Amino acid sequence: MDKIAPGCKNHHIEFDHEVIKIVWVKGLPWVLLPRDRDPAQRLRRNYSPPGVPTSIPLPD
């Protein structure tokens, strides 16, 4: 239960079908969109605490 993140109904379906992936970085969930939606393949967040960016490159 320590690796769960909320998603609206539409995005939850995409999570279940692995269209959108959740990647955990330093304890925060980040979303990885499919390459056709995000050719740059950056991890994204709709909300980040102060000092945390809303998108970052994929970690190695």
Residue 50 located in a structural domain: no
Residue 2 located in a structural domain: no
**The predicted structure's pLDDT at residue 40:** 92
Residue 26 located in a structural domain: yes
Residue 54 located in a structural domain: no
Residue 21 located in a structural domain: yes
- Into how many domains does the chain fold? 1
Residue 29's domain spans which residues? 7-37
Return the exposure string of 6-36: e unless at least 16 CB atoms fall within 10 Å of the residue's CB, then b.
Answer: ebeeeeeebeeeeebeeeeeeeeebbbbeee
Residue 1 located in a structural domain: no
**In Å, what is the CA distance from 36 to each residue of 4, 19, 40, 41?**
25, 11, 10, 9
Q: Dump pLDDT digits (tens) for 7-59.
A: 666 666 676 667 788 888 888 888 898 999 899 999 988 777 788 788 888 87
Quick one: tokens of 58? 């994929």
**The predicted structure's pLDDT at residue 47:** 75
**The predicted structure's pLDDT at residue 6:** 64
0.75 cut: is pTM over it? no
